[in-house]
Amino acid sequence: MAAAPPKAVHGGDCTTMPPPLGPAPAETFNTLPAPGPIKQVTAGSPAAALLKRDALGWLARPGMKYTELGPIVLVGDVSDQVLQRSAADLRKSIDVTTRVYGDAIPLEPRRLVLVPASARDFGRAARDSPRGWLGFMQYSDQTTYIGIGPDTRSGSPYVGERPSSVMTHELMHLTTVSYAYSDMPAWLTEGYAEIAAEVQDPRVRQENDRTIRGARLRIPDEDALYGDEPGLPYALSASFVRYLCSIKGSRQLGTFVRNVTNRAWQIDTFAKNTYGHTIDELVPGWKAWVARTNKR
């Protein structure tokens, strides 16, 4: 006889801000200097060298500006005010991701280029986004690129309601990247990033809860998450990961994620060690938890 699925006993839904951590190691993103002066991207500037290595051709164009915060470069074809806001939001997002993860965000031997982008940069993706806001992460050489999209409902670059939560979502992906090898399930990668965005902005949680009401609850596969209509798959992933968090708290979830990041093929072993069940065995408990907690 199979054991009953675990109930949420941690006493919270893990979308409230965990307590602050101690001082972060110097080699992480968490110890950032103040932004440097805003400069034009020129042929000899550090930003230009980074953009040359990028596979996204739309990044490198005349008129772009940049500022540096230690290993992080903020660059975009945007106003000084947008760059300044990006820097302020970055610090907030790093605080959220660090607290949710339970450790400093790993830097590895990489640089981070953060691009506050306009709707034209995202092209069709911006026009078709069902959520009104979007972001992306990409790797090239020893550089990580994060693009932060506009609130497409307002049509304005980086002045809508959600960009800071998008930044938090994308930064959270740094915690689930293995630079050696990993087959991290897409639902865990995206769900974990999404609950960090929910901590950053409670409206994201509200929107995700509305999205899954009445839907068939299932763990989405990669094709669904990265298909043409990702709204429901993202919301389902966030809900399932939030359920895991509710069982034993964010610290245990962070340990589970760290283990799976480097040995994804053992995910059911880690799930049984942490939650007493395999992933499939946890689904009935998740469905019951959603029925209890996600009400109008």
pLDDT at 285 (0 to 100): 95
For the chain, what is the HEC assignment? Answer: CCCCCCCCCCCCCCCCCCCCCCCCCCCCCCCCCCCCCCEECCCCCHHHHHHHCCCCHHHCCCCCEEEEECCEEEEECCCHHHHHHHHHHHHHHHHHHHHHHCCCCCCCCCEEEEEECCHHHHCHHHHHCCCCCCEEEEEECCEEEEEECCECCCCECCCCCCHHHHHHHHHHHHHHCCCCCCCCCHHHHHHHHHHHHHHHCHHHHHHHHHHHCCCCCCCCCHHHHCCCCCHHHHHHHHHHHHHHHHHHCHHHHHHHHHHHHHCHHHHHHHHHHHHCCCHHHHHHHHHHHHHHHCCC
What is the rounded distance in angstroms from the CA atom of residue 130 to the CA atom of residue 198? 17
pLDDT confidence tier of residue 158, bands split at 50, 70 and 90: very low
What is the rounded distance in angstroms from the CA atom of residue 170 to the CA atom of residue 263? 22
Burial of 294 (0-12, 13-18, 19+ CB in 10 A): middle
pLDDT at 67 (0 to 100): 87
With respect to CATH, is domain 39-176 assigned 3.40.30?
yes
pLDDT confidence tier of residue 118, bands split at 50, 70 and 90: low
pLDDT at 178 (0 to 100): 55
Q: Express each pLDDT in 246-262 by its tens digit.
A: 998 888 888 898 888 88
pLDDT confidence tier of residue 15, bands split at 50, 70 and 90: low
Burial of 25 (0-12, 13-18, 19+ CB in 10 A): exposed
Query: What's the token pair of residue 236?
Result: 């389902």
Q: Where are the domains of the chain?
A: 39-176, 186-293
pLDDT at 216 (0 to 100): 92
pLDDT confidence tier of residue 278, bands split at 50, 70 and 90: very high
Q: Is the pTM of this model over 0.85?
A: no
Of 17-31, 63-77, 217-231, 268-282, which range is least confident?
17-31
Of 28-42, 219-233, 234-248, which range is least confident?
28-42
Does position 21 have pLDDT exceeding 60, yes or no? Answer: no
Sequence-ordered list of residues with C-beta below 8 angstroms from that of 224, at least 6 positions apart, any chain: 230, 232, 233
Name the most confidently modeled range: 28-42, 53-67, 150-164, 262-276: 262-276
State mean pLDDT over 213-227: 88
pLDDT confidence tier of residue 25, bands split at 50, 70 and 90: very low
Does position 215 have pLDDT exceeding 70, yes or no? Answer: yes
Does position 26 have pLDDT exceeding 60, yes or no? Answer: no
